[in-house]
């Protein structure tokens, strides 16, 4: 793509400002691990919330969401539940509070508060580190694949997608590795501001240039509907008929089954708490438990409207003004013996849409910001597990702050390097996405649900449950593909989950319970609800004034209302851009009602903001 000098200057200025800002705050980050990974737990909750939202506004996921919105229309609202997006609702309602009460630096360190320091706890500790590193490497590969596809179309030099990805990841790593979390958070504020302006602008351009009638002339029946039956009830014909082939390859034809699996997996994954990545890191970096809940709520408020203005705007511009361009490109790919790459709709729209000089530069800078914020947050979260949970605990307990931070630099570089190697092996974004959410998280869920809710669950059960799950995630998908080629990786979740449950139960029941003092300390501090009867009785016997957590019913009610509330924040911008006026009115009404309900049933019951610093 040939960019005017002004656009190139805007992109260069943005990249320069980001790197300089990150390096400027690096001195404060290098004091100790708490400053490097959690910003000293002094960053306000709303800043952390915007930073967390920025980390989730990634370009790779946006490219996939644009394809989904293009192919499936308003029904694509449900697809992000595969992550699941409503895990932020579980965090907002109760899990962020529980996690912040534990007062630790990493998810692996949290294991000590739950299982103590025995052999089983040490094994559980190590298994969390292994899972965290695999997760970070998987997400680096995921980002690598997306930014390479984007850059090959958008940037003017004749380089391969992998070469572009290698260069951009290397540049981004400079400020991430050096600056730690303060660097990441401050640059993410800059990036999110830019992305929000760009996203709303793209949505407005689509509204102004494409009429509802023009959209209806292109899309199939059912594209504007949020609801579905046993199948999608939607079929592309005419020039876009090849999309129907891709939809069949996605493995979502029996969408009711796929949807049910998404919800089941999503609820379990959400109850497990945040995986050991930047999401958990932002919770642990808050100043107290009240701010942890408010931080998670901020993510929902600030993320979805601007992001889906961008997604819907790019979709509409692709459907109508660029219809012929896309058809010609995809037909040429088929004639050449290749498959059309529908994940490239986003960069193709930007490349071919008439956008004023200057605004194109801002748009490209904003999308680069989307990539850099997610990549930065991911890389900053991973090394804490190696340095704090392996090096400091087992290898060099007396290491100085300076040595620990330098070790963090080294581990960050190694994590990025391994992620890039895996990125070279990945075929497409959807494949990596479904492996992460279907395979890898299938092995994570069982052990991490039981750790919160069942007193008898111990360190051995956690270790064997997580390890069997990780092994299953690494091998089950490849076995399934050999037996049933083309199967969506999400369908591997049930067998991997069952393997993990078996590991959890055998590891727990064939070993002794954890020490009562450890369990009582955890129960008093975190105050979870669930199957804690024997421990609850012992705690109350020692302290009759102790009040157990009786909020299960209210938390479940708030989760249901909150999920509806969050979904309307996704539906509203899409309906606005595609001019679905009835949908806009209904979404606004539902949003108003659910907001009032949550004010009374959630916000008014938040814990006080007493300090709970490390």
401 pLDDT above the threshold of 50:
yes
**Is 177 a residue whose pLDDT tops 80?**
no
Q: Which range, 183-187, 411-415, 502-506, has the best average confidence (pLDDT)?
A: 502-506
> What is the pLDDT at residue 488?
67
Extract the tokens encoding 362. 């801002």
- Residue 483 has which token pair? 């037996």
- pLDDT at position 482 is 78
Q: Which domain holds residue 27?
A: 5-426
More confident residue, 360 or 611: 360
Higher pLDDT, 527 or 134: 527
Write out pLDDT tens, residues 70-83. 999 999 999 888 88
Indicate the helix (H) or strand (E) that contains 137.
Answer: helix 119-154
pLDDT band at 32 (very low <50, low <70, confident <90, very high): very low
- Two tokens, residue 103: 């007062």
Residues near 28 by beta carbon (within 8 Å), at least 6 away in sequence = 35, 40, 182
Choose the most confident range, by mean pLDDT, from 130-144, 274-288, 576-590.
576-590
106 contact partners, CB below 8 Å, separation of at least 6: 37, 132, 276, 280, 281, 284, 384, 385, 388, 389
Q: Does 230 fall in a domain?
A: yes
- pLDDT confidence of residue 614: 44
Whole-number pLDDT of residue 48? 84
pLDDT exceeds 70 at position 341: yes
Helix (H, G, I), strand (E, B) or coil at 546: coil
538, part of any domain: no
Mean pLDDT of 459-476: 87
Our count of domains for the chain comes to: 1
346/367 Cα distance (integer angstroms)? 10
Model confidence pLDDT, tens digit, residues 362-375: 777 777 766 666 67
More confident of the two residues 444 and 70:
70
Which two tokens mark 249? 């390859």
Between residues 393 and 177, the one the model is more confident about: 393
Distance CA 603, CA 598 (A): 6
Closest CA to 429 of 207, 176, 235, 144: 144
Q: What percent of the chain has pLDDT over 90?
A: 32
In a domain, 416, yes or no: yes
pLDDT band at residue 37 using 50, 70 and 90 as cut-offs? very low
Q: For residue 428, name the pLDDT band (cuts at 50, 70, 90).
A: low
Q: Which residue has the higher pLDDT, 420 or 108?
A: 420
Inform me whether the pLDDT recorded for 282 exceeds 90: no
Q: Residue 33: pLDDT above 50?
A: no
> What mean pLDDT, rounded, does the chain reach?
81
Distance CA 245, CA 189 (A): 40
Judged against a pLDDT cut of 70, whether residue 612 lies above it is answered with no
In SS3 terms, 213-256 reads as HHHHCCCCCCCCCCCCCCCCCCCCCHHHCHHHHHHHHCCCCCHH
**Rounded mean pLDDT, 413-438:** 67
- At residue 36, the pLDDT reads 44
Flag whether pLDDT at 35 surpasses 50.
no
Structural contact between residues 490 and 82, judged by C-beta atoms closer than 8 angstroms: yes
pLDDT of residue 337: 78
Helix (H, G, I), strand (E, B) or coil at 165: helix
Most confident option among 135-144, 188-197, 536-545: 536-545
Mean of pLDDT values over 183-207? 80
Q: Which residues contact 469 (CB under 8 A, 6 or more apart)?
A: 442, 443, 444, 445, 446, 447, 496, 497, 499, 500, 503
Confidence of residue 12 (pLDDT cuts 50, 70, 90): confident
Going by C-beta distance under 8 Å and a sequence separation of 6 or more, which residues neighbour residue 356? none
DSSP 289-354: HHHHHHHHHHHHHHHHHHHHHHHHHHHHHHHTTTHHHHHHHHHHHHHTT----GGGHHHHHHHHS-
- Torsion sign across C-alpha atoms 274, 279, 285, 287: negative
User: Within a domain: residue 433?
Assistant: no
Query: So what's the pLDDT on residue 61?
Result: 79
The pLDDT score that the predictor gives to residue 182 is 56
Q: What are phi and psi of 454, to 5 degrees?
A: -135, 120
Mean pLDDT of 553-578: 97
Q: Flag whether pLDDT at 402 surpasses 70.
A: yes
Residue 571 resides in a domain:
no
Residue indicated by tokens 């379990």: 268
Q: What is the pLDDT of residues 491-544, one digit of tens each?
A: 788 888 899 999 999 999 999 999 999 999 999 999 999 999 999 999 999 999
CATH number where 56 lies: 1.20.1730
Neighbours of 381 (CB within 10 A): 28
Find, among 497, 433, 552, 569, the residue nearest to 261 by Cα.
Answer: 497
For the ranges 99-113, 335-349, 586-600, the lowest mean pLDDT is seen at: 99-113
- 431 belongs to a structural domain: no
Per-residue model confidence (pLDDT) at position 138 = 75
Q: Residue 325 CA to chain centroid, in angstroms?
A: 32
The two three-digit tokens of residue 65, written as one number: 């969401």
554 found inside a domain: no
Average confidence (pLDDT) over 546-550: 92
Residue 375: CB atoms within 10 A of its CB come to: 29
Q: Per-residue pLDDT averaged across 175-182, rounded? A: 54
Residue 209 has pLDDT above 70, yes or no: yes
SS (HEC) of 552-596: HHHHHHHHHHHHHHHHHHHHHHHHHHCCCHHHHHHHHHHHHHHHH
43-68 average pLDDT score:
81
Residues 165 and 151: their CA atoms lie apart, in Å, by 8
Q: pLDDT band for 243, please (50, 70, 90 cuts).
A: confident
Q: Kindly report, residue by residue over 294-332, the tens digit of the pLDDT.
A: 999 998 888 899 999 999 999 999 998 888 888 888 888
Percentage of the chain beyond pLDDT 70 is 82
Q: Among residues 7, 379, 357, which one has the least CA distance to residue 187?
A: 379
> What sign for the dihedral angle of Cα 61, 62, 65, 66?
negative
């Amino acid at each position: 793509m040939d960019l005017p000098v002004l656009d190139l200057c805007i992109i260069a200025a943005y990249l320069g400002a980001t790197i300089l800002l990150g390096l400027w705050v690096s001195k404060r980050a290098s004091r100790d691990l708490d400053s490097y990974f959690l910003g000293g737990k002094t960053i306000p909750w709303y800043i952390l919330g915007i930073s967390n939202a920025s980390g989730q506004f990634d370009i790779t996921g946006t490219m996939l969401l644009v394809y989904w919105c293009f192919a499936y229309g308003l029904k694509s609202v449900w697809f992000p539940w595969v992550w699941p997006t409503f895990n932020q609702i579980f965090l907002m309602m109760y899990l962020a509070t529980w996690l912040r009460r534990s007062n630790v630096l990493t998810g692996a360190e949290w294991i000590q508060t739950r299982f103590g320091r025995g052999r089983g706890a040490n094994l559980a500790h190590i298994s969390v580190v292994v899972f965290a590193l695999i997760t970070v490497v998987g997400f680096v590969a995921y980002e690598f694949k997306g930014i390479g596809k984007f850059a090959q179309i958008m940037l003017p030099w004749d380089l391969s997608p992998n070469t572009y990805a290698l260069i951009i990841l290397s540049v981004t790593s400079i400020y991430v590795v050096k600056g730690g979390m303060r660097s990441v958070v401050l640059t993410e504020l800059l990036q999110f501001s830019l992305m929000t302006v760009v996203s709303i602008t793209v949505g407005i351009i689509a509204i102004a240039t494409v009429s509802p009638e023009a959209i209806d002339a292109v899309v199939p029946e059912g594209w504007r509907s949020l609801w579905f039956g046993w199948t999608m009830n939607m079929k592309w014909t005419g020039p876009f008929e090849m999309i129907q082939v891709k939809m069949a390859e996605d493995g979502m034809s029996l969408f009711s089954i796929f949807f049910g699996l998404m919800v089941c997996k999503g609820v379990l994954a959400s109850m497990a708490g945040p995986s050991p990545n930047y999401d958990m890191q932002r919770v642990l970096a808050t100043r107290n438990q009240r701010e942890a809940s408010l931080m998670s709520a901020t993510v929902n408020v600030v993320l979805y409207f601007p992001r889906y203005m961008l997604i819907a705007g790019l979709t509409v511009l692709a459907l109508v003004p660029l219809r012929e361009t896309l058809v010609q490109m995809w037909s040429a790919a088929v004639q050449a013996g290749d498959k059309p790459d529908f994940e490239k709709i986003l960069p193709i729209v930007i490349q071919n849409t008439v956008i004023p000089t200057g605004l194109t530069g801002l748009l490209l800078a904003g999308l680069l910001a989307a990539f850099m914020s997610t990549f930065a947050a991911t890389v900053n979260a991973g090394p804490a597990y190696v340095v704090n949970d392996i090096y400091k605990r087992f290898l060099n307990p007396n290491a100085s702050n300076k040595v620990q931070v330098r070790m963090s630099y080294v581990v960050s570089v190694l994590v990025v390097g391994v992620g890039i190697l895996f990125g070279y092996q990945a075929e497409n974004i959807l494949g990596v996405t479904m492996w992460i959410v279907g395979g890898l998280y299938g092995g994570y869920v069982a052990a991490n649900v039981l750790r919160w809710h069942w007193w008898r669950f111990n360190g051995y059960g956690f270790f064997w449950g997580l390890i069997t799950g990780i092994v299953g995630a690494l091998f089950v998908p490849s076995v399934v593909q050999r037996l049933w080629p083309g199967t969506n990786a999400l369908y591997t979740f049930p067998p991997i989950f069952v393997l993990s449950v078996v590991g959890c139960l055998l590891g727990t029941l064939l070993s002794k319970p954890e020490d009562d003092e450890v369990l009582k300390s955890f129960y008093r501090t975190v105050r979870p609800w669930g199957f804690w009867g024997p421990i609850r009785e012992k705690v109350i016997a020692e302290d009759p004034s102790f009040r157990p957590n009786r909020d299960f019913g209210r938390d479940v009610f708030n989760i249901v209302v909150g999920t509806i509330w969050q979904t309307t924040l996704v539906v509203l911008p899409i309906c606005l851009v595609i001019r679905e006026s009835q949908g806009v009115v209904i979404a606004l009404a539902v949003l108003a009602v659910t907001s009032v309900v949550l004010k009374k049933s959630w916000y008014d019951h938040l814990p006080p903001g007493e300090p709970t610093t490390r």
